[in-house]
Amino acid sequence: MNVLNFIVLLPIVNAIVIALGAPARKSALLSAWTQFALTIVALAGYKPKTPGGFDFGSKWDVAPEWGLSLAFGADGLSLVMLLLTALVTVAAVWVTPKIEKRENLFYACVLLISGGAAGAFASTDLFFFYAFHELALIPTFLLIGIWGTGARQVAAWKITIYLAVGSVVLLVGLAKLYLAFPEGARSFDMLKMAESRALIPAAEQGSIYIWLLIGFGILISLVPFHSWAAPAYASAPTPAAMLHSGVLKKFGLYGLIRIAVPMLPEGAKVWMNLLLVLLVANIIYIGLVTIAQKKLDWMLAYSSVMHMGYIFLGIAAGNAIGVSGASLLMLGHGLSIAALFAMCGYIRQNNPSLAFTSLGGLAKQAPFLGYAFGMAAFASIGLPGFANFASEMMVLFGAFKSGTVAGSTHFGATQFATVFALWGVVISAVYMLRAYRQIFQGEPNANVASFKDPGCSVRSSVILLLAALLIVGLWPKSLLNFIQPSVEALIGK
């Protein structure tokens, strides 16, 4: 047992303890902070031990006949994802208002989502990497269905069935990948698979890649598999929306970076144009849909779908700078959307409709909220100073460089997609700034006459997320030092 095992085990064990009747909020907060502290310890003590840059390895054989084992290990990339998980978990637990009914079940579900995400990021066995992610499925269903708002039950059904189907597609893709290795070299150990990736026949890579792309794509809300995301996030209770859009959705992207990019480079080439079209649709089409939204929660939900396009662009670029940028952007997007959903949840408590027309002039009554929301919105647009800026720049540079040979000019499909993606920045500026103006500026609406700044817990958790965004934005090297060697080990320089 090492620190990594505790990071995974802690939220799951705590969820069980809380379900059995421990004081819910206190235990959950304690668990989240401990998880955060352990993650910092892991980041500080990280020393690459294997050629792939992994540390904290541990392994228990569960089915030797099939080569299945419960195996954990972390490289720089997984540690950054674990940091994101821990930060958002702390914020999500902290920001939660008083739960009127079945408090213990609520916090148990929240911690299970966090534990499932942490387990997936820390697994080095393909089977458990997949299995941990699904741990969040039922808790999400319960959270949205019981404590959600609006058409919560419809949204809960939709997200659960959609993601379940996506998971099965992914499962078939992973089985195909496993069976593509010649007999004798087959293994569920992701480190071994990465080492012997040259054994995958180039001709089969395309058919495996498309299964993985659709499977992961459904989990990430890639157009046209995005329709589950917005209703679910709009009606989910605040912590569930924060954890799901901020952390859990990154599982699919992490999987693409960890599995599809390094192991199936030929497959990526086959489907490159399709992926580019879809990701541009994510940015431009969903961007326009976001502009058309009339409620804050739906707008944030769609913006979260839209921003997946940039991360896909970095993955499509396939070079070290693009993929590193995508990895950092996962963190940046996770933190900024979590902060936005946290504040959206607070506004919802006072004004359940969240329609832009029923809000206005909040900045006068709640200056802190106005300030913090502005910062989070700027971060989300990708203004300099925030983590999103640094990472989006890397993604765009990487994508523009992709496919070029040194000394020659080349303008191919990736470059076209990059140009389209740049327009996405304008689109996000349009909807974010418009929302900001309608909610916070102008004369206070009569509906919000009694609106006040949030209390300590909401404030602190938003400050925590914004501080992390600023630190990483001003000093991206702090995390890129972890990300870049891992990405280079995965895909080569």
By C-beta, is 214 or 465 nearer to another protein?
A: 214
Q: Is 286 in the site for another protein (CB under 8 A)?
A: no
Amino acid at 179: L
Sign of CA pseudo-dihedral 82, 87, 89, 90: positive
How many angstroms separate the Cα of 489 from the Cα of each of 10, 51, 106, 297, 319?
30, 8, 40, 39, 12
Nearest distance from C-beta of residue 137 to another protein, angstroms: 6
Strand partners of residue 295: 355
Per-residue tokens: 22:
């421990």
Site map 40..79 versus another protein, x via CB under 8 A: ---------------------xxxxxx-x-x---------
Q: Helix, strand, or coil here: 55?
A: strand
- Are the CB atoms for 144 and 232 separated by under 8 Å? yes
- d(Cα 283, Cα 303) in Å, to the nearest integer? 9
Q: Specify the stretch interacting with another protein by CB under 8 A; choose among 48-56, 131-139, 432-440, 470-478.
A: 131-139
**Alpha helices, DSSP H, located in 96-125:** 103-122
Pick one of 40, 41, 151, 161: the residue that binds another protein (CB under 8 A): 161
Q: Specify the stretch interacting with another protein by CB under 8 A; choose among 1-9, 172-180, 257-265, 324-332.
A: 172-180
Q: Specify the stretch interacting with another protein by CB under 8 A; choose among 127-135, 265-273, 422-430, 440-448.
A: 127-135
How many angstroms separate the Cα of 89 from the Cα of each of 23, 84, 491?
18, 8, 30
Q: Is 105 in the site for another protein (CB under 8 A)?
A: yes
CA atoms within 13 A of residue 72's CA, in its CB half-sphere: 19
Pick one of 3, 9, 13, 19: the residue that binds another protein (CB under 8 A): 19
Q: Helix, strand, or coil here: 72?
A: strand
Q: Is 171 in the site for another protein (CB under 8 A)?
A: yes
Pick one of 135, 261, 387, 395: the residue that binds another protein (CB under 8 A): 135
Pick one of 33, 176, 266, 353: the residue that binds another protein (CB under 8 A): 176
Nearest distance from C-beta of residue 164 to another protein, angstroms: 4
Site map 224..263 versus another protein, x via CB under 8 A: ----------------------------------------
- d(Cα 397, Cα 418) in Å, to the nearest integer? 9
Q: How many amino acids of this chain bind another protein (CB under 8 A)?
A: 38
Q: Is 475 in the site for another protein (CB under 8 A)?
A: no
CA torsion 286→288→292→297, rounded to 10°? 40
Pick one of 41, 151, 179, 467: the residue that binds another protein (CB under 8 A): 179
Nearest distance from C-beta of residue 268 to another protein, angstroms: 21
- d(Cα 450, Cα 364) in Å, to the nearest integer? 11
Q: Is 158 in the site for another protein (CB under 8 A)?
A: no
By C-beta, is 75 or 189 nearer to another protein?
A: 189
- d(Cα 297, Cα 399) in Å, to the nearest integer? 31
Q: Is 172 in the site for another protein (CB under 8 A)?
A: yes
Q: Is 127 in the site for another protein (CB under 8 A)?
A: yes
Q: Is 203 in the site for another protein (CB under 8 A)?
A: no
Cβ-based neighbours of 91, under 8 Å, separated by 6 or more: 242, 338, 339, 342, 461, 462, 464, 465
Q: Which of 297, 315, 184 is nearest to 240 (CA)?
A: 297
Binding site for another protein (CB under 8 A): 19, 61-66, 68, 70, 102, 105, 127, 130-132, 134-135, 137-138, 141-142, 145-146, 153, 156-157, 160-161, 164-165, 168-169, 171-172, 175-176, 178-179
